[in-house]
A and B are shown apart, each in its own frame.
Chain A
Amino acid sequence: MQNRILNLTKNVKFQLFLTAAALLFLFRLFFKPDDVLMLQVINEILVVTSVSFFILYLLDFLSKRSFSPVSMVMNVGILNAFLFFMMTFSGTILTGLFGDLSLEESRSGLVYYLVLFFYVFLLLISFSYFFITFKEFYFLKQKKNVSKHFNTMIIFILLASFTAMFGEKWDLEYISLSFFFISILLIVINSIKISWIAFIVKKEKLYVLFLSVIIAILFIVNIVNASDGNSNKLVLDHFSPSLTTFFKLIMIYGIIYYSILFFTTLFHLPTAEVYDRKAQEVTSLQYFSKLITQVLDFDELAETVTDIATKVCNAHGSWIVWKADNEFKNIATKNIGYVDVKLMTEYLHDIFINKADEKTEIVTLEKFNRRSELSEDYSVIAVTPLKAHNEIKGFLLTVKKSDFIFDEEDKNALETFGDYASVSIENSRLLEQSIEKERLEKELDVAREIQRKILPAAEPQYKNLSIASVFIPAFEVGGDYYDFFEIEDDKLGFVIADVSGKGISAAFIMAEVKGIFESLSRTSQSPREIFIKANEILRRALDRKTFVSAAYGIIDVQKETLYYSRAGHCPVLLIRGETVEVLKPAGIGLGLTHSKEFADALEEDTIELKGNDIIVLYTDGITEAKNSELEDFGEKLFEQILIENRHEDAGTISKKVISEISYFSKNYPQHDDITLVIIKWKQKLLNNGDKEWQNLAPQLNTGAM
């Protein structure tokens, strides 16, 4: 039943209130309930019903809005003042309108009842609102379910009100009085624990302290206005004794609650600031722990750090000094001008350099000789280190103006906060690094793919030649390139090159270099000429820092001759018998200098091929391959392996070299591309028929590589 009434919609409650009030109005117009118990009871029932529905309606009406406790205190004050004026002047107005109110005759007629109902309605609004506010106060910040205490109190208030009518006429006042005093007792009990006061800030506490005195006094004045001998009392008692009692009890509740509120606030005042700070810390840390997960943007994070830092210690400004490339940079300035920040950072420079511990250091600006240049009267700075990987990476600075200090609490708060900030910043940086790493890996995948497509898929097949090539890419694409050009049936062009730099940019230059040699190999049959033209193109195409070292050779099978040039590349090795000839004609790397200087320096050599000559081209990835002691693989070992295996075909020799290098540097990561090209000469026999026969076997061998 009770729930069904409570669950009615707002409008239905209001309609029920209006119906009850209308019934009451008609009832009062036709009956005088003063003397007849039955009529009095009906009157009281109608009053209680009206009041209940109105309170329920108002409860619904107000529950949609959420007020802060302080504004509720204020609202009660305003309504109380209104009530005070109304009750003070109502006597005069009512007497003026209807004559002496203590006389039975003046309290009758339609006009009187209209005015009376309006007057009661205004009272009803006031104390219903008070009642609802007290209820809100009571349940505010309560940890346990305490509705039982409050409900008991309501029952007793209702009992005290309802029984009031018996006291007047039938000398049963003690019943009502008993309920009345029990109600007061319950009111006191229910008012004692005011816990919400701890949660408001100091300024609001002062405000509440001030208001509670005034409002408590207003409640006292209003209860006096409705006491014996007053016109309000006369009119109300005549209307309904229950209402008078209910009104009194609400006023008493007000007096008690606001008095207790006053004292509670007073006791809370000395510790208000501590509460304030604790509350601030809690909210800041909550706010910050949320942000730990939102560290995608380092700059944004820094802004938040300074923002919260000012709140944590009530500072006037904050900024971060971040160490990057051995320089201190000011970032994320908050509530403070950039010029001021710059001046103060300069002043603090020595502290930044010498600071080793993790403690917050307080620095005054008293000895700062350029303090007058600051736009604000800043007087003290707290320096909190920010660490990452156990290393101080920056400082969080908070500054206060004159007459403000950083106390021990501030220091502790900043230190705690500094730890939090460090963790977030570290996370942010780790994330940034892993994103960057992923990006680089993607880039390197592309670079490796380009390189793979640029390099020849297979060695060309030539009579008298056994050709093998090996390419082992480094993780960071090193920019090695080699190629073969089948110029004519009996001429083979070959090139090996190394682009300076690494990664995707090196891969793109490789592609360009391939295009250049691809076309030049068709137009010219002189390695020197090809290089001079290639240098001309590359000098224009490459930036000043980038260059390409290369070696280019042409073997004329008919003439049994090798023509070759070297543009800054590793020498060409010629294994002839048991010796290694290091072929190192002069030449500058491609792209390093202008055409004339390049051409002047560049030589082209010619060698007549004999017996089982082996031509070896390589990049520095071979000679500079390292072992765990950081020793180079070196030329000597390389040449030795070549000599030892000189009787093998090109494919076997190259495999042997690579396996030796792998063994040598098994404990050290490969840091540059490794490229090896081996061309073995098979001497022609004088007889044509013999020549054909001789060449069958080696060609089969070559295919095996």
Chain B
Amino acid sequence: MAEFSTAVKYRGDVNVIYLNGFLDAHTAPQLENEFSKLIEENKYSIVVNFKDLNYISSAGLGVFMAFIEKIRENKGDIKLTSMNDKVFNIFDLLGFPLLYEIFKSEEEAVKKFNEIKKLENE
């Protein structure tokens, strides 16, 4: 059975979820839990780092759809970063780049969040 794990790091107001391994129908609930926890704590600025993710199935993609509405309603967002080509290809085929901002690196995603924060504060 393919293994999957997640880790969460807080970078200021931005929460970064790191994905590792294989995200499919069997491991998707783990990621769902992570999102649920963050939302419970009213943390809506979320970056998902795909650096160590080897594979994502359609059920894995579904997880992002499950939470995005709630997060955007609360002026937050999910931004995706550091995908390998194979994973990006899967996202790309489904038209995810039209629905989500996808960045090359985690830094860019975090910076984007911080810029928005600044604009709001001004």
Contact = CB atoms under 8 A, between A and B. Distances in A.
Contact of B93 (A570, A593, A597): A570
B25 interface: yes
Q: What bracket does the count of chain A residues touching chain B fall in?
A: 20 to 34
B61 interface: yes
Contacts of A317: none
Contacts of A502: 25, 59
A568 B94 contact: yes
A289 B59 CA distance: 44
Interface string A466-510: 000000000000000000000000000000001111100000000
B59 A588 contact: no
A597 B69 CA distance: 14
Interface in B41-60: 58-59
B59 A500 contact: yes
A501 B58 contact: yes
Interface in A539-581: 543-547, 549, 567-571
A544 B93 CA distance: 19
B94 A589 contact: yes
B98 A547 contact: no
B94 A498 contact: no
Contacts of A543: 66
A543 B66 CA distance: 8
B18 to A, nearest CB: 17
Given A501-B58, A501-B59, A592 B65 contact: yes
B65 A549 contact: no
B99 interface: yes
A546 B58 CA distance: 8
A601 interface: yes
A499 B99 CA distance: 19
A587 B86 CA distance: 19
A98 B59 CA distance: 108
B73 to A, nearest CB: 13
A569 B94 CA distance: 6
Q: Name A's interface SS.
A: loop
A636 to B, nearest CB: 13
Contacts of B98: 586, 588, 593, 597, 601
A545 B65 contact: yes
Contacts of B66: 543-545
A508 to B, nearest CB: 15
B63 interface: yes
B59 A592 contact: no
B12 interface: no
B53 to A, nearest CB: 14
B95 A601 contact: yes
B93 A569 contact: yes
A587 B95 contact: yes
A501 B96 CA distance: 17
Interface string B53-94: 000001101110110010000000000000000100010011
A199 to B, nearest CB: 54
B62 A545 contact: yes
B95 A500 contact: no
Contacts of A568: 93-95
B65 A588 contact: no
Contacts of A588: 94-96, 98-99
A549 B58 contact: yes
A631 B58 CA distance: 19
Select the residue from A500, A587, A632 with max chain B CB neighbours within 10 A: A500
A549 B62 contact: no
Select the residue from A547, A592, A632 with max chain B CB neighbours within 10 A: A592
B93 A586 contact: no
Nearest to B94: A568
B62 A546 contact: yes
Nearest to B28: A545
Contacts of A570: 93
Select the residue from B62, B69, B86, B99 with max chain A CB neighbours within 10 A: B62
A592 B91 CA distance: 12
Contacts of A571: 93
Contacts of B86: 632
Interface string A608-641: 0000000000001000000000001000000000
Contacts of B90: 620
Nearest to A623: B89
Select the residue from B25, B95, B98 with max chain A CB neighbours within 10 A: B95
Nearest to B55: A624
Contacts of A584: 93
A499 B98 CA distance: 20
B95 A586 contact: yes
A119 B95 CA distance: 110
Contacts of A569: 93
A476 B31 CA distance: 22
A568 B98 CA distance: 11
Contacts of B63: 545
Contacts of A632: 86
B7 to A, nearest CB: 14
A547 B58 contact: yes
B95 A589 contact: yes
Nearest to B98: A601
B62 A547 contact: yes
Given A502-B25, A593-B99, A544 B69 contact: yes
Contacts of A597: 98-99
B95 A501 contact: no
A620 B90 CA distance: 9
A588 B99 CA distance: 9
Nearest to A634: B86
Contact of B65 (A498, A499, A544, A586): A544
A571 B92 CA distance: 11
Contacts of B59: 500-502, 545
Contacts of B96: 588
A547 B94 CA distance: 10
A113 to B, nearest CB: 96
Contact of A500 (B61, B69, B99): B61
Contacts of B94: 547, 549, 568, 588-589, 592
Contacts of A544: 62, 65-66, 69
A593 B68 CA distance: 11
A549 B61 CA distance: 12
A115 to B, nearest CB: 92
Nearest to A602: B95
A290 B6 CA distance: 44
Interface string B16-55: 0000000001000000000000000000000000000000
Interface of B: 25, 58-59, 61-63, 65-66, 69, 86, 90, 93-96, 98-99
Given A593-B98, A601-B95, 11 more contacts: A545-B59, A545-B63, A545-B65, A547-B62, A547-B65, A569-B93, A571-B93, A587-B95, A592-B99, A597-B98, A620-B90
10 contacts: A544-B66, A545-B62, A547-B65, A549-B58, A587-B95, A588-B94, A588-B98, A588-B99, A597-B98, A632-B86
Q: Which 4 A-B pairs have the closest CB atoms?
A: A588-B95, A500-B58, A545-B62, A568-B94
